[in-house]
Homo-oligomer: A and B are copies of this chain.
Amino acid sequence: MNPSISIGNYLIEKLLECGVRHAFGVPGDFVLGFDKLLEESAIEFINTCDEQGAGFAADAYARLRGLGVVCITYCVGGLKVTNTTAQAFAEKSPVVVISGAPGKNERIRNPLLHHKVREFDTQYKVFQELTIASTVLDNPNIAFQEIDRVIAAALKYKRPVYIELPRDMVFVTGNPNYQAVKQPEASNAEVLNEALNEAVTLINHARQPVILAGVEMNRFGLQEELLQLVEKTNMPIAQTLLGKSVISELHPNYIGLYQGAMGQEYTREYVESSDCLIMLGTFLSDINLGIFTADLNPKHSIYVTSEKTSIRWHNYEEIRLQDFVRGLLAADIRRRESIATNPLKIPANFSPITGQQITIDRLFGRLNSFIDKNTIAIADVGDALFAGLELFIHDKSRFVSPAYYASVGFAVPASIGAQFANPNLRPLVLVGDGAFQMTGIELSTVVRYGLNPIVIVLNNKGYATERPMRDGAFNDILNWRYSRVTELLGAGLGFEVNTEDELEAALMQSQAHCESFCILDVHLDPQDTSPALKRLSSALGERIGSQ
């Protein structure tokens, strides 16, 4: 990289080096200079309707590409992506938040400049709470170094970072003598060796070892190694909710999603009765563990994430997840002969019943035969997610959902990020009516950039996830005519779906219509919820009810 370049251009070069080809955002006067630089670069700037949409799109992009960028103006833009950044933090998605800001020279004597909240560093302070590293590029001597430091942190910890770029620094040249120093990262070899030896011994002596893979396998790019480990050892593998589609769910060794009492009984039984549970990159969050109904005995566990390594009751320091996984793959683990098989199979030959009112169960039954290797399912929070768990995902990283932080309104804008991240995939967006009302209008961005998701609106007339917990008028929403959003946007294909045959026809037409988005307004009985949601609501309801 040529160091005699401006701070703005160095930042762009760095992002390109990391594989970024798109940045999502909304322009504003404090960031216009940088937006213009982006426009002239190999990174395409994607305008969303609102900054929230850009934040979710960048998050999805990061989950699929390893790094995402949201680029917004000061405060009125930046403070609109605090929630999306928080989600990226909680779910380990490496998003670079780039915020334009008042120039250094404009800050002298602390005037009341527009978009200012309290002090000039208010936004910076807020993002310090929500990111793993942050910087204000107000010193040309160290700007390049700061960019490298902050982006390295995003890549190392898979968490969002914050870069504030005062508008009078964009075109300023940085330190021409700066030389990037790559910090080699590695585990402590002796510690790693001892941990691996212990793990291998436990696995080889176990009667029923099972891998429980989590979302960090995706974040740290370890899915190929994981697959090889499974195929080499022939061990069965389960996934967690947040880690869904870490491997193909059609793989013969796959035994289902483990989520305590919320999940399938077969998977629960198998995992909980294991005498050697190998948890790799697994978050132990409440929803992931079926609202703490999971029963995983540490006595039989090998638990390795980017943050912690434990075997049985003791911990190891200085072990990197990727080194441990690669170490396991290289180790002498004995191959199992016959393995467990998940009795769950994709329902074959779905036959629609003409005139039959569609149910959520039948809808997802049908979607299971609709999706293929080129589908990426993107599930919003609510029953879209819980019913979505029933889908058999054909390939790794083909299911995206904010299953831990659970911010409603993620799916439609996320589909934008996902399709830019991998244009070979067609998004299948699963979204509740409440969630669609938050951010569904980002279909405008879909139209503007010629994307083509198929959007399934689960229209159950309100916040169905909440009704079983505590119901009231606050859970009702206006019943939009969702399929007519095409009228407003002047593009897309809309369908009203009440019956199984209408669903069939709409899906067939959507499959054939690739030039723009399709939206299916699927009318469901408000009481009709997925089995997983029924179990979750009951668990959450008890929690609230007792208080």
Contact = CB atoms under 8 A, between A and B. Distances in A.
Nearest to A124: B129
A469 B76 CA distance: 18
A118 B89 contact: yes
A472 B35 contact: yes
Interface stretch (A77-85, A176-184, A359-367, A417-425): A77-85
Interface string A504-529: 00000000000000000000000000
A39 to B, nearest CB: 5
Interface string A184-228: 000000000000000000000000000000000000000000000
Interface stretch (A135-143, A388-396, A484-492): A484-492
A356 interface: no
B286 A114 contact: yes
Contacts of A13: none
Given A408-B76, A441-B441, A448-B477, A27 B129 contact: no
Interface stretch (A46-54, A309-317, A323-331, A337-345): A46-54
A107 B72 CA distance: 34
A1 interface: no
Contact of A76 (B113, B406, B489): B406
A489 to B, nearest CB: 6
A115 to B, nearest CB: 6
A437 B465 CA distance: 28
A441 B32 CA distance: 26
A533 to B, nearest CB: 13
Interface residues of A, number: 91
Contact of A474 (B27, B50, B287, B543): B27
B112 A438 contact: no
Interface in A91-125: 103, 105-106, 111-118, 122, 125
B470 A36 contact: yes
Contacts of A39: 472-474
A286 B110 CA distance: 11
Contacts of A488: 480-482, 484-485, 487-488
A540 interface: yes
Nearest to A442: B437
Contacts of A445: 478
Interface in A138-195: 167-168, 170-171
A475 interface: yes
A45 interface: yes
Interface of A: 25, 27-29, 32-33, 35-36, 39, 45, 47, 49-50, 52, 75-76, 79-80, 82-83, 86-87, 89-90, 103, 105-106, 111-118, 122, 125-126, 129-130, 167-168, 170-171, 283-288, 292, 404-409, 437-439, 441, 444-445, 447-448, 463, 465-466, 469-470, 472-482, 484-485, 487-490, 540, 543-544, 547
Q: What are the 8 A-B residue pairs with the smallest beta carbon separation, nearest first?
A: A112-B285, A79-B83, A487-B487, A49-B437, A168-B547, A76-B407, A32-B470, A86-B117
Given A50-B409, A50-B439, A114-B285, 7 more contacts: A29-B544, A39-B474, A79-B82, A90-B118, A122-B130, A126-B130, A168-B547
